[in-house]
Structure formats: structure tokens, C-alpha cells
Chain A
Amino acid sequence: MAEPRVTLNLLQHSALQINFIGGMAFFLYPDLVIHSTDEMYWLPIVAGASIGIFGSWLYSKMMSSNPGKDLFEISIGVVGRGWTMVLLFPLVLFMFNSIALMARSHAEMVNMTMLPTTPQWFLNGLLIIPLWSALGGITSIVRTITVLLFIALPFAMAINLLGLVDLEFSLGSPWFKLSADFIRSPEFYASSYVWVGFIYCSVIGKYASDPKHLWKSYGLAVLCFLPMALEAVLLPVLTFGPEFTRTLTFPYIMKMDSIDIYWLPVENLTAIYVSVTMIFVVGTVAMMYFCVARGIHRLFPRFSEKIILWICGGITYSVALLFPSWLWVRRGVFWDTPLRLFLAIGLPVIYIALIWWKKRKER
């Protein structure tokens, strides 16, 4: 049965990307950025976002060569199924890793902040919600994410505004200095995981009404979320100072904990913050599940997407439980970095070259 034609406009793509950045920006990101430099903490954030926009432009270029097709379909058309399996295996692997890492890291965050004795097998069971959403297809995901964004974004913005108390700007100085020491830091490259949401455009870019301008929707998402990403890093630094912030596992959670506003009726801001983050995570993982199942389905069309989704759900749940500790989750983000950077920049460059070569050959 032919798949009904669904198109997503640029704003809907932006919503998906905002949700992705929201799901990623608050847990390990502040820790990585603060460890990547000793000064000008805003610079690695802006640099990461700029690299992200460049990567999204490459993906737009790649996807616009064959509008209405995902990267797997484009690749099969260009290099055949066999080579597609070889070239896009890293992409599938990356998506798998990302789901398992996200599930486990957020389960650990809930464990460390709110539910200390709740077992991991239960907390990782959260994966059932995005899996269920992914089973409904892209329309279900986009609708879910849009609704969740309407709930989560106002809370996220309110929390960020409340976080503007007790700031001491001299703690963040020097604000401007000729230095880019973060370039040599592995933490900076590891922090790129926040800005690579466009990689999922390799699958959902198929639904773009105008794939050539996909990067604009990503850019809009970055612009919308950049202030919050800056706050996720700078608020703890400007409150506690960089030295203490570096010793914290979740600096932003500690910042939430430190807020003491007399008129505020909410006592546990951290609980609201963790819940908001989990809302972003549910939407993001749903998108990831959809992309990974769609990719595998393109490579092995005899298996239905629903069966693949259930198998993926089982595998990612098991892998998430296999991480022995938080330290391994952190290591996982570091080990994932070369693959992530290859997929963000290298993969689209390879495909742009292959598509150009194929077109030239056909001419």
C-alpha cells in the first residue's frame, strides 16, 4: 500500500529541532562546555551552534537533490542497496546509541535527583511512550511534539527566567578575550551532541515541503533555543563560579535547587525542571525511533516498520540497562563523538559528491 503523502513545513521542522535541542541541552551539556574552556563560556556554545548550522546546510543540499526521498532511498538509487548498507550503517548505529544514551542518562538524572531507590529497569521503561508515539508514524510524532512543546516551552522559559537571580557577572569574566582554547578540548567536540538534530533530517527531510531550505528551519530552532542553551551553561557559572560548577554532575539542577524566591509558591523547582526535560526527551526519542526504524525498513523492506520498531525498542531498552554506571554514560557520549562528527559533516559531503558524480555520469 502506498504511503500517504505527508508534508511538513519549515515551522514544523523547527518544532522537531527545538524539541531535540531541548531534550539534549540540559543534562550533560553544561558539564561538557564548562570543562572545555577556562574563559568565555559562551564561545564554545556559539561555535557549536554555528557548526550545527553549517552541517544542516550540507544536509539541506544533500536532501534537495532528490525531494520527497529520504537518504536511504537516495543512497539506494545512487550506489545500490549493498553499498548503502555499508555507508549508512554508521547512521543507524548512531541513532541506536543515541536512544540508549538518552534513555539511560535521563533515567540516571531522575535517579540522582528525585527517585533514588527506583530501579533502572523501571525508569528506562519510559521508552515505551516514545515507542508508542513512533508506531503512529510521522504525523503522530509531529502532533505529539507540537503539543508537548506547548506544554514544556513555557515552563522551560519560566524556569530560565527564575534562574536569573543571584547572578554575579564577574564570575564569568573574561567575557571577551582572543582565545579559542576549547578547540583543543575533547569536551567541546563531545558537546556537539546537542547541535546534531539535523542528522535526523536524513529521514524526516523526505517530508519537507522545501528540502533546500531545511537548514533555515534548523537555524530558526537554534536561534530560538540558543538563549536557553546559553543559560543552561552560564547560570550555574555566574551563580556558583566556574570552579565549583566544574565539580557538579548536573550544574543546572544545582542552580534550580539554589533558587530562593520569597513569593514563589513552588518549593521544588528541580522537579518541574526534570519533568520538563523528560517531556522534551519523550518527543526526541519518538523521532529517533521513527528514523531508525524507517532506515532499517529501507534496507530490509521485507520487515514491517512496526516489527522493526518493537525490536528496536527491545534492543535500546536492553542496551540502556547494560550501562554499568553514570561514568559509562558520560564515556558513551565521548566515544560517540567521532561517529557523530563524521555523520554531521563527512556523510553529507560524501553523498553530495556521489550524487554529483552520478548526475555527471548520466549526462
Chain B
Amino acid sequence: MEKEEGALRVKKLWLLLPICLLLQGCWDSKDIDNRIIAVTMGITSAEKGQIELWLRFPRPETTTAAGGKGGSSLKGSFVLVKQKAPTVAAAIDRTQLKLSKGVDIASVQTILITEDIAKKGVYPYLEFAIRNRLVPMNTLVAVVQGSLEPLLGRESPTGESAGMIINNFFEEHIGGAPRKTKASLWNIYSRIYNPMEASVVPRISANDETLIKSIGTVYFSGDQMAGTLTPKESLIYALMRKKIRGAEIETVHKADVRITDNTVHVKESIGKDGRPIIHVRIRLVFSLMDLSNKERLTRSEIEQAVNQVLERRAKSVFAKTQKAGADIFGFGNHFRGRLEPREYKKWPEMYKHAKIDFQVESELRNTGLKE
């Protein structure tokens, strides 16, 4: 009796096995060798209100050829495909008409947008990515000054694989630096919806020697480019976002210091005249890197010099962003508890008239191996 039951169970298990065949999810499978994987995407405007999409696909064969073992006769480490269409999604679709492999944009690392697109407003050009998860949400975005050709059409001189150079350029643990603002797709998109905070995107241009150069930061009002910050001014943004560790500051006394830590305290209130009042206290800890000045500066003189440099620079950044009503520091979020939700959309206008009190307190932790 027990033997019969056991045999029945084994039969049932065998019957269940064919179900496993269904678990492969055949509908959405496409073998890796049948895909062409884009890693960089460029968007620029074209005639008749269209856009031109640039897709850069690394060519895997080249790696073998470079190693000296492969037999690839193909030149270059990447394929660049351009396509005009009314929308980005349509351009991606039309790109497929030119390629024998399936276009895969799920691994795009960087989206480059030209300034004309940024000035028109980025919302319609990035919407496809959010709605259909076509590209990862953490894809980096940068605004390019000038044409995309010198950036996307040339090989990397520093040896990175075809797609990674721009990504590595901004990545904190690789080539990133506090002066190079880093912005992901979700940063930009979420701030388009948030009236209390404006987006920032790094601004880059082509460079003959190294292919790419950081030339500052673009700030947005809504989804439109409202102005730019220089790399030095971008440091204030990094300072406020507590992403300044490792940054170097040169004071007027030719003292170079390296910031090792910083804290930010924001205190907000609304004045009797209805103007927002924002008190910002920054505490910086730094070490001395270089003192080319022959005069011997005291510890407090160096600290004072750093405070003055940063306060002066911050003043200029606040003036620029306030003029455009672009609260790139997210001060508005601190007012969420003080304003009614229906008043949030007034924030860009309120920010223009906000009184910002910015103070830096710095502390020289050490002077290196020399006193």
C-alpha cells in the first residue's frame, strides 16, 4: 500500500516537471549576442521641430583584437548611430530599422543633452525613460556645450571602454570631483515636479586632449535651463549637498587647502514682510596642502581666508539662482512645514526675494607633514 502511494507521488512529480518549461519567460528573451547594447545616448534638436538621437554602441570584438588574439577586422571601439524623429521613443524605434541586432538601451550609462534642448525644456525628451523604464533611473545626465560630434564621435584617449568614459568622468569613486556636479535622471525628473527645489546638471564640452572637460553646472527653472555656474561656483553646490570631501580651495594668500569634512545647518523662518529668511551655517574641516606664500600665515588667518573665499562665492551663486527663481539648494523643502501645500508653487517667486544669511566656520585640522 505504502509502495503504491510512493509510486503515485513520483508519477505526480514527473507530471509537474513539464511546468518548469514554462518558467523560461520566452516572450521577453533575447540572447545577448543578438543585442546591440547602447551605453551613451545623445539628444540634440533637428530641423522641423524634430530631435536627433545619437546612440553609441560599444563593439565587443575590438577588445579581442586589441589583445592581439582576435581576428576582428572592424575598426574603432564603437558604432555611432544617429536618427531623427519627432520624439526620443520614435527615434529609438526607427534606429532598429538600420540595425540587424535588437537595440537594447537598458544599459545606457549617460544621456547627453545639447544646450538648445536644455533651453527649450527637457521634460518631453526624458519622459520616455520614466514611463517605460527604458533606461535606468540612475543614468547620468549632462548638458553639452556645442555639438555632440566631438564627444561621441571620437575614441577615448585615456583607454576607457567605448561607453564608460563619460560615466567614469563623473563617478565619485573614479574620476568624479566636487567641482563636477553629478546628476542622475531621477534627480532631474523629480525636481521638475518639485516646486521647492530646482535641478542642476553638469555642463561639459569637448576637449582636444582628453575628449571631455567639465565647464561648470547648468541650473534649471522648471524643466528649462535658466543659467550656468562656473566650476568654482559649483563647489558651493557641492558644499551645500555635503559632497565636498576632497575638494581643494585656493585662497587669495596662495594657500591650498583640502576639505575633509563638512556639516550644513539650515534654519528657516518667515519674516514679518512675508519674505523667507534662511540662515545657513557651514562647518568645514580641512587640511593644508600647499602654502606657496613666503609670508608665514597663522592658523586663524588661513581659516579666515577660506571662510571669506567661500562666503564671497556663495553670495554670487545665491544672486544668480535667486534672479532665476531656481532654488538649487532645496531651501524650499525646509519651508514645507511653514507653508500650506497649496502655497508650494509660489516658492520659486518667494525664493527670488528670500534673505539668505550664509556663514562658514572652518577649522584647520592639520598642516600636513610640515608645520
Residue ranges of A at the interface with B (Cβ–Cβ < 8 Å): 38-39, 112-119, 122, 125, 128, 168, 170-171, 173-175, 177, 239-241, 243-244, 247, 254, 257-260, 262
Are B333 and A262 in contact, with the CB atoms below 8 A? no
Are A118 and B186 in contact, with the CB atoms below 8 A? no
Residue ranges of B at the interface with A (Cβ–Cβ < 8 Å): 19, 22, 25, 27-28, 130, 132-133, 136-138, 171-173, 184, 186, 189-197, 266, 330, 333-334, 336-337, 341, 344
Least Cβ–Cβ distance between B95 and chain A, in angstroms: 18
Are B337 and A174 in contact, with the CB atoms below 8 A? yes
Are B334 and A173 in contact, with the CB atoms below 8 A? yes
Complex: chain B residue closest to A110, CB-CB: B25
Complex: chain A residue closest to B336, CB-CB: A173
Please measure, in the bound complex, the distance between the C-alpha atom of A177 and the C-alpha atom of B19, giving whole angstroms: 54
Are A168 and B336 in contact, with the CB atoms below 8 A? no
Question: Pick the contact of A257 from B28, B136, B171, B191 — CB < 8 Å?
Answer: B136
Are B186 and A243 in contact, with the CB atoms below 8 A? no
Residues of A within 8 A of B184 (CB): 258, 260
Are A244 and B133 in contact, with the CB atoms below 8 A? no
Question: Pick the contact of A240 from B133, B171, B186 — CB < 8 Å?
Answer: B186
Question: Pick the contact of A118 from B27, B266, B341, B344 — CB < 8 Å?
Answer: B27
- Show 16 A/B contacts (Cβ-Cβ < 8 Å), sorted by A: A170-B330, A170-B333, A170-B334, A173-B334, A173-B336, A174-B336, A174-B337, A239-B186, A241-B194, A243-B194, A244-B189, A244-B192, A244-B194, A257-B138, A257-B186, A262-B171
Least Cβ–Cβ distance between A43 and chain B, in angstroms: 14
Closest 3 pairs between A and B when the two form their complex, measured CB to CB: A174-B337, A170-B333, A260-B138
Residues of A within 8 A of B197 (CB): 241
Residues of B within 8 A of A173 (CB): 333-334, 336-337
Residues of B within 8 A of A128 (CB): 19
Residues of A within 8 A of B172 (CB): 262
Least Cβ–Cβ distance between A274 and chain B, in angstroms: 12
Least Cβ–Cβ distance between A106 and chain B, in angstroms: 15
Residues of B within 8 A of A262 (CB): 171-173
Please measure, in the bound complex, the distance between the C-alpha atom of A112 and the C-alpha atom of B132, giving whole angstroms: 7
Residues of A within 8 A of B138 (CB): 257-260
Are A118 and B193 in contact, with the CB atoms below 8 A? no
Are A240 and B334 in contact, with the CB atoms below 8 A? no
Question: Pick the contact of B333 from A113, A171, A247, A257 — CB < 8 Å?
Answer: A171
Most buried by B among A112, A119, A254: A254
Are A116 and B28 in contact, with the CB atoms below 8 A? yes
Question: Pick the contact of A168 from B19, B130, B330 — CB < 8 Å?
Answer: B330
Residues of A within 8 A of B132 (CB): 116
Complex: chain A residue closest to B344, CB-CB: A243
Please measure, in the bound complex, the distance between the C-alpha atom of A254 and the C-alpha atom of B137, giving whole angstroms: 7
Complex: chain B residue closest to A260, CB-CB: B138
Question: Pick the contact of B186 from A117, A125, A171, A254 — CB < 8 Å?
Answer: A254
Residues of B within 8 A of A257 (CB): 133, 136-138, 186
**New contact pairs (10) apart from A171-B336, A240-B186, A262-B171, CB-CB < 8 Å:** A39-B336, A116-B28, A116-B132, A122-B27, A170-B330, A243-B344, A244-B189, A247-B193, A254-B137, A257-B186
Residues of A within 8 A of B25 (CB): 115, 118
